[in-house]
């Protein structure tokens, strides 16, 4: 699917002009005409990039950009500021707010398109977003956990993967297997947003391995929602007869038939005690690894339960 660009500008002629040029290059486009609408659409649509005018009613572009950067759901989205101002101080304000690039009006449409492509390319390289799920990878996951620990936040780290996934792949092939991985990413992200809002984060390590970070108080509700949503939705990815039977039949390496139940989601959560999350430079720089290891251990324990399930270690790192 092509990249989605959100264009936010109160000048509707400019919006139409930019929209036409981006669509000619194969981009999908969403539009907004004031700051409040831009922020709301950036959070709800999760575009791949935001083109953000500085001067807009209700909330200016600097404020929109700052709020996007402060929200875990949108902090990774690249932003290009559009402005008629050319003063160095204005550029500094935009970059300080978190913008990735700055384009002065009036601009050449081909230059704009190339700047969009370049910014998207750099963002993918720096964030290592998964092409399948659109979620950030290992570097961002590590940064997210470490930075929260250093701030003294009471967090829960979740490790999640799929059970029975290999049999699903054997039965239906890789393309449909990717749909299951994508579903897992979707339900984890939605559960994090619903229970933690801007403080929820979900990353994709690769394959069927995911990591989430949520406030400790939201941990169990996050896991409950994610596992319940996965169990409701995953049967739709099976052929009707297999979904009704509740299993798929594949053959092991020796040709013997083997039945495997419907794919399920296992989540392990590691929640350190309040006193074990030091704040500032004195925070243990390797503490994130201990939490990830504890979460993975609880995830493996959850696999012994029936269907999608979760298990919590409330003394991790303590």
Extents of the domains making up the chain = 4-127, 138-313
- Give the C-alpha separation, 8 to 79, whole Å: 11
**254: which 2 tokens?**
């020796």
Record the pTM. 0.63
Mean pLDDT of the chain: 87
Looking up tokens 């939605």 gives 190
Confidence band (pLDDT; 50, 70, 90) for 50?
very high
Cα distances from 210 to residues 71, 159, 310, in angstroms, run: 20, 6, 14
If residue 59 lies in a helix (H) or strand (E), which one and from where to where?
A: none
CATH code of domain 138-313: 3.30.70.270
Overall average pLDDT of the 142-160 stretch:
88
Residue 283 has pLDDT above 90, yes or no: no
- Give the C-alpha separation, 55 to 66, whole Å: 14
pLDDT in tens, 225-262: 999 999 999 999 999 999 999 999 887 777 788 889 99
Question: Do the domains 4-127 and 138-313 sit in the same CATH topology, yes or no?
Answer: no
Query: What would the DSSP string read from start to end of 121-144?
Result: HHHHHHH---TTT----HHHHHHH
Confidence band (pLDDT; 50, 70, 90) for 280?
very low
- 213: β partners: 157, 201
Q: Which comes out higher in pLDDT, residue 269 or 135?
A: 269
- Give the C-alpha separation, 48 to 3, whole Å: 6
Overall average pLDDT of the 156-184 stretch:
94
- Give the C-alpha separation, 49 to 6, whole Å: 6
Residue 94 has pLDDT above 60, yes or no: no
Written out in words, the top-level CATH class of the domain with range 4-127 is alpha beta
Portion of the chain with pLDDT greater than 90, in percent:
56
Nearest Cα to 133, choosing from 75, 73, 74, 204?
204
């Amino acid at each position: 699917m092509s990249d989605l660009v959100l264009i936010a500008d109160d000048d509707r002629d400019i919006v139409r002009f930019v929209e036409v040029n981006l669509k000619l290059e194969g981009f999908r486009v969403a539009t907004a005409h004031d700051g409040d609408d831009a922020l709301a659409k950036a959070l709800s649509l999760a575009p791949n990039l935001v083109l953000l005018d500085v001067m807009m009613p209700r909330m200016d572009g600097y404020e929109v950009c700052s709020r996007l950067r402060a929200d875990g759901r949108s902090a990774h989205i690249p932003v290009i500021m559009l402005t008629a101002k050319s003063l160095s101080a204005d550029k500094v304000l935009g970059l300080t707010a978190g913008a990735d690039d700055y384009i002065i009006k009036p601009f050449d449409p081909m230059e704009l398109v190339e700047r969009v492509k370049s910014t998207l390319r750099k963002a993918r390289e720096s964030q290592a977003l998964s092409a399948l799920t659109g979620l950030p990878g290992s570097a961002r996951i590590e940064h997210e956990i470490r930075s929260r620990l250093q701030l003294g936040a009471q967090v829960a780290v979740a490790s999640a993967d799929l059970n029975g996934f290999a049999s699903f792949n054997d039965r239906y092939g890789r393309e449909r297997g990717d749909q299951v991985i994508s579903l897992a990413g979707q339900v984890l992200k939605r559960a994090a947003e619903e229970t933690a809002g801007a403080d929820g984060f979900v990353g994709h390590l690769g394959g069927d391995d995911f990591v989430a970070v949520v406030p400790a108080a939201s941990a169990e509700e996050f896991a409950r929602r994610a596992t319940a949503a996965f169990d409701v939705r995953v049967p739709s990815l099976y052929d009707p007869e297999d979904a009704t039977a509740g299993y798929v039949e594949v053959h092991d390496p020796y040709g013997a038939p083997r039945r495997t139940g419907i794919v399920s989601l296992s989540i392990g959560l590691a929640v350190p005690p309040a006193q074990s999350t030091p704040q500032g430079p004195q925070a243990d720089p390797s503490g994130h690894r201990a939490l990830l290891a504890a979460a993975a251990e609880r995830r493996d324990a959850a696999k012994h339960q029936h269907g999608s399930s979760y298990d919590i270690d409330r003394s991790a790192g303590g």
